[in-house]
Chains A and B, each alone.
Chain A
Amino acid sequence: MESTLVRIRNLAKTFGDGDTRVEAVRGVDLDLARGEIVLVMGPSGSGKTTLLSMLGGLLCVTEGEIWVSGTNIAALGERELPPFRARTFGFIFQDFNLIAALSARENVEVALNIAGQSGRAARERAVELLEGLGTGDRLDFPIEKLSGGEKQRVAIARAIANQPVLILADEPTANLDSHHGAETMRLLRELTKEEGTTVVIVSHDDRLREVADRVLWLEDGQFRTLLALARDPVCGMLIDPADAPASIEHDGSTLYFCSRGCREQYEQDVVAARSKVSGQTAQYATDVADARPSS
């Protein structure tokens, strides 16, 4: 079996034209191996969701190819894409996107129905999945009666119902507390180990780095090398030094800031520290910078 599941080449997406033209994704190349968890991070508006939508066959590409399990989905027509999506992809959404009119079991079963499995077999499979994820006692509960964690487990059960080769998760921990967020990460990790499923996660959540095999940084529609990025010592944001709007020289090295505001804040902190502890300014300033939240 070929180890590469997804091969993306020269992928681009442009919205609008003329003055309103926006290049959301620009010439992206990416390979994803089977059983790999890839975390795509980046600032808001960097093209993460556009990339995820194209990868899931939900959005037409402007240019390029997306090969998934040997099929270039960028070339599939409107009639071929839905059945391909049903059998190939599993989606996990930030807002869960469960159908409120259906019970927990039916939300999973409907995904099986769409993929061609119906009746008793679909019901039993849905029950098996939900029980496996610890929500067996909530099978016939209406969605609105479930907690955030339970909803996410139903969403995961729906995503894996058709044994997809690729799961696409958009901010899967955004609406969850730390406990349920950690549980979701554990579930995603288990999925890749047990089923060999590839998972692409788009998120701002740094905690997801723990389960990711690879972390990619998307900015201005292009992947950047994380090693080449600098962290703003005030707000903790990762930034490209070449595009940093502000920087200062400090102790022989250069500090980069995401904005002038952050640089001014940094300078104020340093001055304040100097006035308190003479002679230990540099060390103190470093401590202040380190004490800032990393994300």
Chain B
Amino acid sequence: MTTPENASHFPGTPGMSVPLARRQLLFRKGRTLAGVAGIAAALLLVLALKAIFAGINDRLTAYIDESGADVIVAQQGVDTMHMTQSALPEGVVAALVAVPGVAEAKPILYVPAMIEGGEERGIVYLIGDDSGGAPLPLSAGRRPGAGEIVLERSLAERLGARIGSRVGAFGQSFRVSGEVEGLASILNSVAFVPRQELARVLGARGVVSYVLVRVRPDVDAAELTQVIETSVPGVTASTREAFARSERRVVGDMTTDIVRAMILVGFVIGVAVAGLVAYSATLSQLRDYAVLRALGLGARRALGLAAAQVGATVAASFLLALALAWMLATILPGLTPTLVLAIRTSDVAQALGVGAAVALTAAMFPVLRVARIDPASVFRR
């Protein structure tokens, strides 16, 4: 007779030609679809949140990105606009023009303001700009003259203001002369008035907030910032990219905890749904697993079978969530122009990571259950 040691030398079982995991998933289509939908909803929550905040970030710096400035000069120690005040003497403009490498220096006044139109109100970055927002293109109307204002289109729609309508800010009435597009987010909007008009309203004559500097073609903007800070006292100069980055960071710092909390909620919901789906699906198949174990399926392969089903469910959920997020990103801006969803590869990769973590965590539930299956249970009735 052979010893038990001899008996252990059986060849390994090759791949199954019966697609067991697929068959089991498709056998109860309703249950599988409900599970996929549940997990997809949780992943969509994560993806959509990331896309919404990415969209907000994009729009947040849209004015800076499109302003035409290579370098933005602010009061010393200031490199943002959001929740920030910057005040420079008007004479700084002439000093900047005198710096070698500066092609143009355009002063702007900036103040957060509440624009009112009828019963509606909206928060804006109110920019006092002698060029009326140029080089940003107007989508309608003309640049603002004295007593006039250019609004972002979505805000104008919300306020019910058309070209020629009147809106209010700081207790003053402004006639809408034109519209710009693509500068509004769900957080704020942008509006332009003549700089001197805003200075008069604010009582801030002889003061500018920022100076938008264009550099000569042969000059490096980053190097020029150093030259400006050395040549002009009391200022901080930032390249457009660095200024936008700081701006996004400020808003990010204010919202990161909320975003993280919401993503955590999405993750927990995803794990809970995926775990419940996987666990209940496995429970309904326990007898099958016991039969397969009795027929000689090893514990590892049984676990692999359970994990494969969870993996396939989560993969399908991820694709569904991605498709839904893309649909939202396409449809939502048409319905609410201020809500822009920017789906970024890094966010998709992160959601995929969350999905994989969900799958791995959720797979633990059925895997532990399958691992405890007693193959002798096939004889119980």
A100 to B, closest residue via Cβ? B27
Stretch at the interface among B98-106, B216-224, B291-299: B291-299
A123 to B, closest residue via Cβ? B17
- Interfacial chain A residues near B378, Cβ < 8 Å: 58, 91, 93, 97
Contact string, A89-133, partner B, CB cutoff 8 A, digits 1/0? 001011101011110001001110111101100110000000000
Q: Does A263 contact B (CB under 8 A)?
A: no
Q: Does B187 contact A (CB under 8 A)?
A: no
Interface size class of B (residues with CB under 8 A): 35 or more
- Interfacial chain B residues near A158, Cβ < 8 Å: 295
Q: Does B18 contact A (CB under 8 A)?
A: yes
Q: Does B375 contact A (CB under 8 A)?
A: yes
Known: A76-B4, A93-B378. A106 touches B10 (CB 8 A): no
Decide: B17 and A87 in contact? CB cutoff 8 A: no
- Interfacial chain B residues near A97, Cβ < 8 Å: 287, 291, 378
A84 to B, closest residue via Cβ? B7
Bound CA span A166–B2, Å? 18
Bound CA span A270–B380, Å? 41
- Interfacial chain B residues near A93, Cβ < 8 Å: 291, 378-379
Known: A71-B6, A115-B296. A110 touches B379 (CB 8 A): no
- Interfacial chain B residues near A82, Cβ < 8 Å: 293, 296-299
Known: A71-B2, A91-B378, A106-B18. A80 touches B291 (CB 8 A): no
Decide: B298 and A72 in contact? CB cutoff 8 A: no
- Interfacial chain A residues near B27, Cβ < 8 Å: 100-101
Decide: B8 and A101 in contact? CB cutoff 8 A: no
Q: Does B288 contact A (CB under 8 A)?
A: yes
Interface size class of A (residues with CB under 8 A): 35 or more
Number of A-B contacts (CB under 8 A): 124
Q: Does A83 contact B (CB under 8 A)?
A: yes
Nearest chain B CB to A31 CB, angstrom units: 14
Decide: A99 and B288 in contact? CB cutoff 8 A: yes
Nearest chain B CB to A5 CB, angstrom units: 12
Decide: A80 and B8 in contact? CB cutoff 8 A: yes
Of A72, A84, A99, A118, most B-chain CB atoms within 10 Å:
A99
Decide: A102 and B297 in contact? CB cutoff 8 A: no
A161 to B, closest residue via Cβ? B295
- B residues 116-161 in Cβ contact with A at 8 Å: none
Nearest chain A CB to B93 CB, angstrom units: 77
Decide: A85 and B296 in contact? CB cutoff 8 A: yes
Decide: A85 and B295 in contact? CB cutoff 8 A: yes
Bound CA span A70–B292, Å? 25
Q: Does B20 contact A (CB under 8 A)?
A: yes
Decide: B14 and A72 in contact? CB cutoff 8 A: no
- B residues 279-314 in Cβ contact with A at 8 Å: 287-288, 291-299
- Interfacial chain B residues near A72, Cβ < 8 Å: 1, 3-4
Bound CA span A84–B4, Å? 11
Nearest chain B CB to A117 CB, angstrom units: 8
A119 to B, closest residue via Cβ? B17
- Interfacial chain A residues near B291, Cβ < 8 Å: 93, 97, 99
Q: Does B16 contact A (CB under 8 A)?
A: yes
Decide: B14 and A58 in contact? CB cutoff 8 A: no
- Interfacial chain A residues near B7, Cβ < 8 Å: 71, 73, 76, 80, 84
Bound CA span A100–B11, Å? 29
**Among candidates B15, B299, B376, residue contacting A118 with C-beta atoms closer than 8 Å:** B15
Known: A91-B294, A101-B23, A111-B295. A79 touches B8 (CB 8 A): yes
- Interfacial chain A residues near B294, Cβ < 8 Å: 56, 58, 85, 91
- Interfacial chain A residues near B18, Cβ < 8 Å: 102, 106, 109-110, 113
* Interface residues in chain B, defined as those with a beta carbon under 8 Å from any beta carbon in chain A: 1-4, 6-8, 10-18, 20, 23-24, 26-27, 287-288, 291-299, 374-376, 378-381
Would you give 23 A-B contacts (Cβ < 8 Å), ordered by A?
A56-B294, A58-B375, A58-B376, A58-B379, A71-B6, A72-B1, A79-B298, A80-B10, A82-B297, A83-B10, A83-B11, A85-B294, A86-B296, A91-B294, A97-B378, A99-B20, A100-B27, A101-B20, A101-B23, A101-B24, A101-B27, A102-B18, A102-B23
**6 closest A-B pairs by CB:** A86-B296, A101-B27, A83-B10, A58-B376, A118-B17, A53-B376
